[in-house]
Structure 1
Amino acid sequence: MDDQSSHSPPDGATIDPLSVIVKVDPAVEFSSRGQRTQTVYVANDRRTGKFYRFGTREYHAVTLMDGERTLGEIYRQLQHDGLLWSEVDVIAFAKELTQHRLAVVVTAADDARATGETPDPPPGVSETEPGAASAGAAAAKTASTPPKRWFGVTLRLLGGLLTQRFPLADGDRIAAKLLPGFGFLFGVPAMIVWAVLVGAGVGVVWSNADAFSAEVRRVFDQQLWLVLAVLWCVLKVVHECGHAVCAKYHGVRVGRMGIMFFLFAPLAYVDVTDAWKLVRRRDRVQIALAGVYVELAIGAAAALLWWFCPVGFTKHLAAQVFLVAGPATILVNANPLLRLDGYYVLSDLLEIPNLRAHGRARLGAMVEALLFRIRMPESPLAGWRKDFAAFHALCSVVFQIVWMSGLVFAIATWAKGFGIVIAIVAATMWGVLPLLRWMFKIWTLEPRNRWGLNFYQRRLLGICTLVCLGVQYASVQSSPLARRVPVVVQFQDEQIARAPVDAFVASVFVRCGDRVERGTLLLELDQPELVLQRDQLMDQRDVELAKAIQHRQRSELALSEVAQQNAESLDRRLAEIDQQIDSMRILATRSGKITTPATNQLLGRYVKQGEELLRVSDPQEKEVLAIVAEDTLEAYKKASSSKQVASIRLRGGVSITAPLQDLQPSASRNLPHPALAATAGGPLAVQMLQQSESNELVHPQLRSVLPLDPLTSLAVQSGQIGRLTIPDDRSLVSRIWDHLQSR
């Protein structure tokens, strides 16, 4: 701010920040907005067209910045008026106004001290208390030092790698053209129709949740990414046009429309900041939600179209439109944790101006009070609003860390080398630099002691040491979390009787639930063509044997030998057919119960070779089949070699235990159990085989069989899937990295 002052202090002197005179720029216009519990003031900077919202306390402080009072006089006046701001709060607020160019520094008072002394602490605060008067001098020192020009230019260039904005068209002209045709959408009758349409769409999705879940899984199909990208771009253009038309509907001037790239993801935008001029809050909320309003209508219509369309590309495309226009829009645009439409609506409805700024300031003050015992400043918000703002800030920070980390990781993985550069820049801009600024602020709160570090510096070094030790522990020591291995319950040594040949089921001698012994006849098949073929082969064999005898009697030994060989070949074919005919009598190969339902429906059916007919098993003899991926191989070997007892949780809430067993020697892509396939709701990714309609695993998997005792076998059902937990051999950092890579 010194470059805006009329004079500079002498060398080695420090200006008392409370002697500075600040004046609000005349180009800033203020207007009030009546609320139920408090009044909000909107500042319109006519030079830039930007709007800022102030609460009553902030606005009262602004009215005192008339170019005649010093910040010290403003502080005393605020104390007299009952606004319990500290000196640091007044200085920080004036600094924020000057940074946004809403106010300018006029001059410093004539009694500015040139001795470098710090101002007296406010009443009731001792000089030795953490966060006392020295914070004011530190803030003044920080504010009086202009940033390096090259550093600011570097930050702007790095920020340009992450976000680029390109204005393309005059939004007011486009909105004026669209208003006659689409302005009715924001009237009361259209809103009633919208509610009915969205309700019907939600009902369709709710009643067909499984089908839509399958469509969600298809979103990750790389062959559909181009279609999804086109859908996303078109719907976002419609979204922004909804904002523009709604603003024009309420008589608001629309600014520029264009496209911006956030981490190279294209996003449309439109400038409707003049909506803050509207007095009625419901009009401002309608403009803020207009884009979501239009997209949800499109998503509901797509859900209804999906319901009416037959199976095909149109049905699938309608489902994708619903996913992009419905859940995706609610997650992004209507999410109050992101600074998008939902955030502004929440801020307006709760009457909390600058919700994000106030919340993060209070959250930061709470962290500093917890870690460094710095006294929390008086919040500009009153009552429950200050606590809600801090809670909102905490939720938004956590959400954005997870959100941005996923985006940065995706960019680094997709763009390879250049993506890694972008990831480094993003981590620096959003994480490293803010952290360094905060650490520098804490480090310079008080000057160093003569022979050592002050309280804040010692506390900061201690916290940094604990963090470094925690990172080192997480990088080296084994993760305290557990690995999860998918499992399925199956019968032990189960007999699955299949049709040996294409045939008809002639007789069924058992029913579901019957107890059978080994060797019991279960059913008989009938294949008349096979019997006829056997009779024909027998006749041909008799003919060849007769020829062999005749040729031998005529001393035609060579011809006799040929006929004999033909007869032997027919004998081998007859033996094969006799074996097939004998196999049509299906016997039980073990003792147990018939577990196949509806056995009475088998009688008279035509079955193909290999088709499953009956199952024989013992309910007291079950086992757990564990499917071990290659990256879990070593951890499973360590756990099984130590003879650990695994904890298994099955779907339905059943928990059992079983001793770990050794792995089978080789991995396989064969699907071990139909219930494990992702297409059936299981955990394993599968792909369709081109030569058949069966599925195979995308990645090879190893197997291990864990036997169950009789009591546990009776407590579980065959086909139940679940998770088996074993200790994790990776470090916590490696586990997080593997989890990100798997996504």
Structure 2
Amino acid sequence: MPLPPLRQELSLHPGPVDPYGAPTWTLHDPAANRFYQLSWPAFEILSRWHRGDAAQVLAAVNAETTLQVGADDLEDLYRLLAGHHLLVGHDAAYTGRLAESAAAQRMSKTMWLLKHYLFFRVPLLRPMPLLKRLAPRLEWAFTPACWYALAAIAVFGLYLASRRWDEFTHTFSAYAGPEGLLGIGIALSFAKVLHEFGHALTAYRCGCRVPTMGVAFLVMWPVLYTDTNEAWKLRRRGERLRIGAAGMLSELALAALATLAWSFLPDGPLRSAAFLLATSTWLLTLAINASPFMRFDGYFLLSDWLEMPNLHERAFALARWRLREALFGLGEAPPESFTPGRQRFLLAFAFATWLYRLVLFFGIALMVYHLFFKALGLLLMVIELGWFIVLPIWRELRVWWSRRAALRWHRQTLRTAAVLALLALLVLVPWQGTVRAPAVLTAVRNQSLYAAQAGRIVGDAAREGQRVRAGERLATLVSPELEFRLRMAQAQEQALRWQVEQQPFATELQEAGDVLRRRWAGAREAVHGLIAQRRQLEVRAPFDGTVVETNAFLAPGAWLARGEKLFQIVGAEGGLKVEAFVGERDHALLDRSQGGRFIADLPEAGTLRCSRAEPDEVNMTVLPQPYLASSHGGRLPVVRNDRQELVPLQTTFRVRLTQCGHAAVAGELPGVAILVRERHSLAQSAWTALLDLLQRERGL
């Protein structure tokens, strides 16, 4: 078998020792700026590749070294070289393969747009001339004394900030508006530029060439990058670790200096900038860059520390193999051989990375959806979910299907089949026949009394536990504002009445005609309305009952706001009722004849059975029970409108459960109501929810 020659521009460099102590070498392709790690046998074969004949190369390796290599070793290396186009085309077949590869890499306009929407790079700077000028002037930044000094500055700055901790933490509130967001953006941009120059300068000091620096767009989100691929030429792991950590260390040094500067700078833009650099930079650095689950600095640090290039791909391949063996027991060999401890770590790392990316990509898809108008946002969200989540799962399912001929019935396949059958029953069988709804238990005759106007308490008020009769006065409020408006209205009414009485005798008043009488009538109505409002300040019992709750501030001379709750009155007769709140889908399928059960949040209250359920036919616009609102720690998501009313975020219906007995209840008792509805499966519920979502997002 004749061997095609290698490309002339390729270079070979000594590499680090592998985890088992064997030497390695690094093959560099400068055209693609890619690096390939070669094992000792691969290096010996490649060193004799110039002989041009496979048999001669193998014979030379076996004769001149202690290795014993075979045709399989040479074939694996040939596939690597040919697959990455590292050979010179020597015949028509090889040229045809190159043409096929080039054709396969050509993309349609739609695919090009899709891939460049998800990720693309824009080189902005060729930094080597700048690095040559900066490196001699920044020698001090790479000395141990510099970093000892920065550690001392960080400790001292934190000590000074801790003495003014309340002032330091409350500075966050000053950056809630557009100007604050702009300041955060400028501070982060400066920190990220310093981050990238930290990588570049460290790589340059280690003898690596830095060809480009620029900005990459990940789902249209800009991220600065520095090309430090030549770090793979370095033999010592410590140098690669320093290059990987240089960016984060630069930002942490900047945060330490900014923390100290914040304590000495006067209030103004400089102090605000120091605060932003002291807080946002290191938080985002540790939260994002230090994560090994994405290809950021943390990933490369972990890869170099473990001495495992392509850590993600190798861990994912091992996890896919382990998953197939657990599900189907194919009996295949693992893609690589590792020690048991290293294998367990890689499996845990792979599954953790998959889970992290699932949450991250789903969150990015939701963010993209909300950033654009509905049609475009929905399309981009589908692209995100399809490319990052659905497509990898689909590829793995295709691999499973391709291995179907190798499946046999044994313990793994029986277990998998049983789990799948159980999941199918759980999802498809309509076993759910109840609804858990937030609810409140109260007496049938139960009413809350509120202050109709802002005012001051005059005289004594009813006490908690006091029995009252219908119409009995519970409290009296006086509103100076209302009294002033009433006096003004009465004065205006008297003036208009005098003008009407004098109209027959005054020519100027006669010209007003009937308009004057209508104005007088309007003034009288205003006076009557204000008098009615003043009567409402006398809070009276609506029925016979007991005061079960009073406002803690009910005392003579106390001022109360409008709408503030004063009393809770429970009637002496009438029994109990439960008010539950359900969504639109559950409301249409409720079984009204079955009633329901109420389970109180207080364990000692127990369970109450109600015989009848009466759902309202019209959904609520305002939630009358603040106990159940999310803003008060309840289960129903609500927002406040302009009138400070609690408005449900979803379509909500009230269901009244009656015939619940006559137990004594003081006030209102929150809990959960178990209601009966038509049985349904999880798949049916998911499909209905999806249709509702699509219909709602289409604006129908």
How far apart, CA to CA, are the structure 2 residues paired with 1:332 and 1:436? 28
Structure 2 residue aligned with 1:592:
546
Q: Which has the higher mean CA deviation after the structures are superposed, 260-269 or 712-721?
A: 712-721
Report the AA paired with residue 45 of structure 1.
H
Distance 1:481 1:207 in 2: 54
Q: Spell out the pairing of 1:153-168 with structure 2 (5 A cutoff).
A: 153-154=106-107, 157=112, 159-160=115-116, 162-168=118-124
Partner of 2:477 in structure 1?
525
Aligned 8 A contact 2:25 2:37 in 1: yes
**Residue 271 (1) aligns with residue 224 (2):** no
**Distance 1:354-1:169 versus aligned 2 partners, 3 A rule:** same
Q: Tell me what 1:704 maps to.
A: 654
Aligned residue among 580, 586, 591 for 1:635: 586
* Counterpart for residue 189 of structure 1: 149
Do the aligned partners of residues 567 and 383 (structure 1) sit closer, same or farther apart at CA in structure 2, a change above 3 Å counting? closer
Deviation, structure 1 residue 567: 13
CA distance in structure 2 between the aligned counterparts of 1:712 and 1:322, rounded to whole angstroms = 60
Moved more, 576-585 or 634-643: 576-585
**Aligned pair 1:373/2:330, yes or no?**
yes
Query: In 2 relative to 1, CA 663–423 (structure 1 residues): closer, same or farther, beyond 3 Å?
Result: same
Aligned to 1:498: 450
CA deviation after TM superposition for structure 1 residue 634, in Å? 2.2
Q: How many angstroms apart in 1 are the aligned matches of 2:440 and 2:615?
A: 17
Task: Show the counterpart of 1:126.
Answer: none
CA contact (8 A) 2:458 2:476 kept: yes
Structure 1 residues 255-270: aligned runs within 5 Å: 255-270=211-226
2:30 partner letter = R
Shift of 1:169: 0.3
Work out which of the residue numbers 151, 159, 162 in structure 1 matches 2:104: 151
Pair 1:388 & 2:345 matched: yes
CA–CA separation in structure 1 for the residues paired with 2:164 and 2:447: 43
TM superposition shift of 1:518:
3.5
User: Contact 2:194–2:247 (CA<8 Å) still a contact in 1?
Assistant: yes
Q: Deviations over 1:368-395 (max 9, x none)?
A: 4443614214724333112322332233
Are 1:335 and 2:291 counterparts? yes
1:168 Cα deviation from its structure 2 partner: 1.0
Q: 1:487 touches 1:724 (CA, 8 Å); kept in 2?
A: no
Note the alpha carbon deviations across 1:426-446, whole angstroms, 9 max, x for none: 847986599569847984x8x
| Distance change >3 Å, CA 485–CA 230, structure 1 → 2 | farther
Match of 2:30 among 47, 59, 68: 47
- Distance across 2 between alignment mates of 1:495 and 1:257: 70
Q: Deviations over 1:340-392 (max 9, x none)?
A: 21111222233434322322232233344443614214724333112322332
- The structure 2 residue matched to 1:243, chosen from 176, 194, 199, is 199
Distance change in 2, residues 1:355/1:584 (3 Å) = closer
CA contact (8 A) 2:14 2:233 kept: no
Question: 8 Å contact 2:490–2:527 — kept in the other structure?
Answer: yes
Task: Identify if the C-alpha distance between structure 1 residues 619 and 404 changes in structure 2 by more than 3 Å, giving closer, same or farther.
Answer: farther
Alignment partner, residue 507 of structure 1:
459
Q: Distance in 1 between matches of 2:603 and 2:198?
A: 45
Q: 1:257: how far off? A: 0.4
1:29 aligns with 13
Q: Structure 1 residues 502 and 348, CA, compared in 2 at 3 Å: closer, same or farther? A: closer
Assess if the C-alpha contact under 8 Å between 2:451 and 2:565 holds in 1: yes
Instruction: Kindly indicate whether the alpha-carbon contact (under 8 Å) linking 1:337 and 1:343 is maintained by their aligned counterparts in 2.
Output: yes
Q: Secondary structure of 2:322's partner?
A: helix
Give unpaired runs (5+ residues) of structure 1: 7-20, 108-142, 446-452, 552-564
Alpha-carbon offset, residue 596 of structure 1: 3.3
Q: How does 1:431-446 map to 2 (within 5 A)?
A: 432=391, 439=398, 443=402
Distance apart, 1:304 and its partner CA: 11
Aligned to 1:134: none
1:539-618 pair list within 5 angstroms: 583-590=536-543, 591-596=545-550, 598-599=552-553, 602-607=555-560, 609-617=562-570
Moved more, 44-53 or 380-389: 44-53
Question: Secondary structure in 2 aligned to 1:285?
Answer: helix
Q: Amino acid of the residue matched to residue 296 of structure 2?
A: L
What secondary structure, in the 3-state scheme, does the structure 1 residue paired with 2:550 have? coil
Q: Are the equivalent residues in 2 in contact too, given 1:485–1:627 (CA < 8 A)?
A: no
Q: 1:253 to 1:408 in 2, by over 3 A?
A: same
**Secondary structure of the equivalent of 2:314?**
helix
Instruction: Tell me, yes or no, if the aligned pair for 1:72 and 1:87 is still in contact at 8 Å.
Output: no
SS at match of 1:379: coil
- Secondary structure of the residue aligned to 2:26 is strand
SS in structure 2 at match of 1:666: coil
Say which SS state the counterpart of residue 187 (structure 1) adopts.
helix
Give 1:301 deviation, angstroms: 9.3
Residue in 1 that maps onto 2:357: 400
- The answer on whether the counterparts of 2:158 and 2:259 sit within 8 Å (CA) in structure 1 is no
CA deviations on 1:90-111 (whole Å, 9 max, x unpaired) are 855653454345689999xxxx
Cα separation, 1, equivalents of 2:587 and 2:41? 67
Distance 1:242 1:263, change over 3 A: same
Deviations 1:591-618 (A, max 9, x none): 2344235345x32024455443333459
Distance 2:435 2:272 in 1: 33
CA distance in 2, matches of 1:304, 1:733: 57
The aligned residue for residue 359 of structure 1 is: 315
Superposed CA deviations along residues 644-692 of structure 1, whole A, max 9, x for unmatched, are: 7478796999997876944433334435455666666666252552xx5
Deviation at 1:636, TM superposition (A): 3.3
Secondary structure of 2:345's aligned partner: helix
Q: Is the 8 A contact 2:465 2:547 kept in 1?
A: yes
Deviations 1:118-175 (A, max 9, x none): xxxxxxxxxxxxxxxxxxxxxxxxx999956432323894645543222110234455
Q: State the 1:643 CA deviation.
A: 3.8
Which TM-score applies when normalising by structure 1?
Answer: 0.62
What SS class does the counterpart of residue 652 from structure 2 fall into? strand
Q: How many residues of Structure 1 are paired with residues of Structure 2 in the alignment? A: 640
Shift of 1:581: 5.9
What does residue 132 of structure 1 align with?
A: none
Counterpart Cα distance in 2 of 1:316 and 1:669: 44
Q: Distance in 2 between matches of 1:636 and 1:313?
A: 56
Tell me the CA shift for residue 572 of structure 1: 8.6
Q: 2:336 aligns to what SS in structure 1?
A: coil
Q: Are the equivalent residues in 2 in contact too, given 1:510–1:599 (CA < 8 A)?
A: no
Q: How do residues 314-353 of structure 1 correspond to structure 2 at under 5 angstroms?
A: 325=281, 329-353=285-309
Residue 508 (structure 1) shift? 2.6
CA distance 1:101–1:645, change in 2 (3 Å): farther
Instruction: Give how far 1:45 is off.
Output: 0.9
Alignment of 1:299-314 (within 5 A): none
What is the alpha-carbon distance in structure 2 between the residues aligned to residue 210 and residue 718 of structure 1? 38
Provide the rounded CA distance (Å) in 2 between the counterparts of 1:208 and 1:623: 52
